Amino acid sequence: MTPAADPAALDAADPLARFRDAFARPGGVTYLAGNSLGPLPKAAAGRVARVVEVEWGESLVRGWNSHDWIGAPARVGGKIAGLIGAEPDEVLVADSTSANLYKLVVAAMQARPDRPVVLSAPGDFPTDLYMLEGAVRSLGGRRRLDLRSGEDLEPALSGEVALLVLCQTHYRTGAVRDMAAITARAQAAGALVLWDLSHSTGVVEVDLNGCNADLAVGCGYKYLNGGPGAPAFLFVARRHQDSLVSPLSGWFGHARPFAFEDGYEPAPGVARFACGTPPILSMTALECGVELALEAGAAASAAKARTLGDLFLQRVGDALALECPADGARRGGHVAFRHTDAHAIVQCLIARGVIGDYREPDVMRFGLSPLPLSYAEVARAADLLVEVVRTRAYDDPAFRHRAKVT
């Protein structure tokens, strides 16, 4: 990017500009927390209302077939596949990211009984590490979790490692790991790899099959804009689908769920990783977000997120310590800075209409969702951040309280 990027010129040339109007944009707010909870796609309000009033209200239980509710997990999963370099029959929408991690981790470990170790990285998203602890505990025996950071990670890939679990884009720093290289390295050591795409999907170009990925999970409510608590997704490469078995062997993953048999027989394909009844209202909202992301295209979204990030960093300059990579090619959809008063700065910005967020211990994050945001508003927000820091406007007791959820 040139030293003096002009937001107005970038907006005028933005191929994704028309998507802004597809989202609710409450007045007086610049929303830079789409990496935490994506904004509302306007179509979702009407579509959910129709499913409630017409499909549920009038079709009642018949809706499972007449409105293909039963097909929603595979249908929406098939659409997400188009954003992450997967085939439609490799992706399923189900449960939460945490639950999907558990299912895939246990299944992968059970498929590698001779290898005791699941390897991951300290500082990755907490639920990932917690679920790994729980998975290892439930597997019992010699199984153990090994956490290695940075340069210690790859040397730890030995014949003992059954599975490597990593977040592709880091939730705090926004740094993007090299999926192709790490996957190849782990597979050369005989391990499987599970990628958490929660902070990547919809904002970073992901090519699972191009990287020969084994397993992945991801979140529906961040850059896919699926709504609060939207169901998550999971990916199982075709070559693994018939050898992995879900430890949460619920009836929706049964080969014949409506035969009401006593014994469990896993469904063929990725469908075996379903567990219980899918949340149709939440899936309806998620599908609206996913359709917008598909229409925009993963490459164009990733390119805009990078340029938005470059613009933001350029305007902040050296006013704040950088927590995210400066290089857009190594950065996900948010920018992050460190400051001892990061929490108060974020509160001060929220009071001025710019919603970002804070992460322990001293990091402020600004999510740059490519579809709902313009370059001009992102530039204004960055300028406001610099002004708040420079004038110490955050240095006020009003901004020092701690909310429960931020």
Find the shortest distance in angstroms from Cβ 133 to ligand PLP: 14
The catalytic position among 143, 222, 306, 331 is: 222
- C-alpha 6/C-alpha 3 separation (Å) is 9
Find the shortest distance in angstroms from Cβ 117 to ligand PLP: 21
Angstrom distances, CA of residue 76 to CA of 79, 80, 257, 269, 308: 5, 6, 20, 16, 28
The smaller minimum CB distance to ligand PLP, of residues 170 and 254, is found at 170
221 is catalytic: yes
The smaller minimum CB distance to ligand PLP, of residues 67 and 359, is found at 359
196 is catalytic: yes
Q: Is 125 in the site for ligand PLP (CB under 6 A)?
A: yes
Q: b or e along 220-237 (b: 16 or more beta carbons within 10 Å of the residue's beta carbon)?
A: bbbbbbbbeebbbbbbbb
The smaller minimum CB distance to ligand PLP, of residues 333 and 372, is found at 333
Among 31, 171, 235, 358, binds ligand PLP (CB under 6 A): 171
Q: Which stretch binds ligand PLP (CB under 6 A): 102-110, 125-133, 207-215, 368-376?
A: 125-133
Cα 199 from chain centroid?
Answer: 4
Pairing of strands 117-120, 192-196: unpaired
**Long-range contacts (CB closer than 8 Å, 24 or more residues apart) made by 397-402:** 398/347, 398/351, 399/343, 399/344, 399/345, 399/347, 399/348, 399/351, 400/343, 400/344, 400/347, 401/347, 402/343
Find the shortest distance in angstroms from Cβ 325 to ligand PLP: 17
Query: Which distant-in-sequence residues (6+ apart) come within 8 Å of 374 by Cβ?
Result: 7, 11, 14, 17, 20
Of 20, 48, 133, residue with least CA distance to 370: 20
Find the shortest distance in angstroms from Cβ 223 to ligand PLP: 10
Neighbours of 82 (CB within 10 A): 16
Q: Which stretch binds ligand PLP (CB under 6 A): 96-104, 178-186, 273-281, 378-386?
A: 96-104
Find the shortest distance in angstroms from Cβ 365 to ligand PLP: 11
Q: Is 324 in the site for ligand PLP (CB under 6 A)?
A: no
Find the shortest distance in angstroms from Cβ 232 to ligand PLP: 5
Contact 312, 369 (CB under 8 A): no
Among 40, 107, 167, 244, binds ligand PLP (CB under 6 A): 167
x/- map, 281-300, ligand PLP, by CB under 6 A:
--------------------
- C-alpha 96/C-alpha 395 separation (Å) is 38
- C-alpha 377/C-alpha 139 separation (Å) is 50
- C-alpha 365/C-alpha 383 separation (Å) is 15
Q: Is 232 in the site for ligand PLP (CB under 6 A)?
A: yes
Query: What phi and psi, each to the nearest 5 degrees, are found at residue 335?
Result: -110, 155
- C-alpha 204/C-alpha 300 separation (Å) is 10
The catalytic position among 19, 23, 31, 125 is: 125
Among 55, 90, 128, 310, binds ligand PLP (CB under 6 A): 128
Angle between the 342-351 and 375-391 helix axes, to the nearest 10 degrees? 120
Among 5, 11, 98, 330, binds ligand PLP (CB under 6 A): 98
Q: Is 135 in the site for ligand PLP (CB under 6 A)?
A: no
The catalytic position among 196, 214, 310, 357 is: 196
Handedness of CA 42, 47, 48, 54 (dihedral sign): positive
125 is catalytic: yes
Find the shortest distance in angstroms from Cβ 199 to ligand PLP: 5
103 is catalytic: no
Q: Is 96 in the site for ligand PLP (CB under 6 A)?
A: yes
Q: Is 314 in the site for ligand PLP (CB under 6 A)?
A: no
Q: Is 97 in the site for ligand PLP (CB under 6 A)?
A: yes
171 is catalytic: no
At 187, is the secondary structure helix, strand, or coil?
helix
Q: Which residues are catalytic?
A: 125, 196, 221-222, 365
Site residues (vs ligand PLP, CB under 6 A): 96-98, 125, 127-128, 167, 171, 196, 198-199, 219, 232
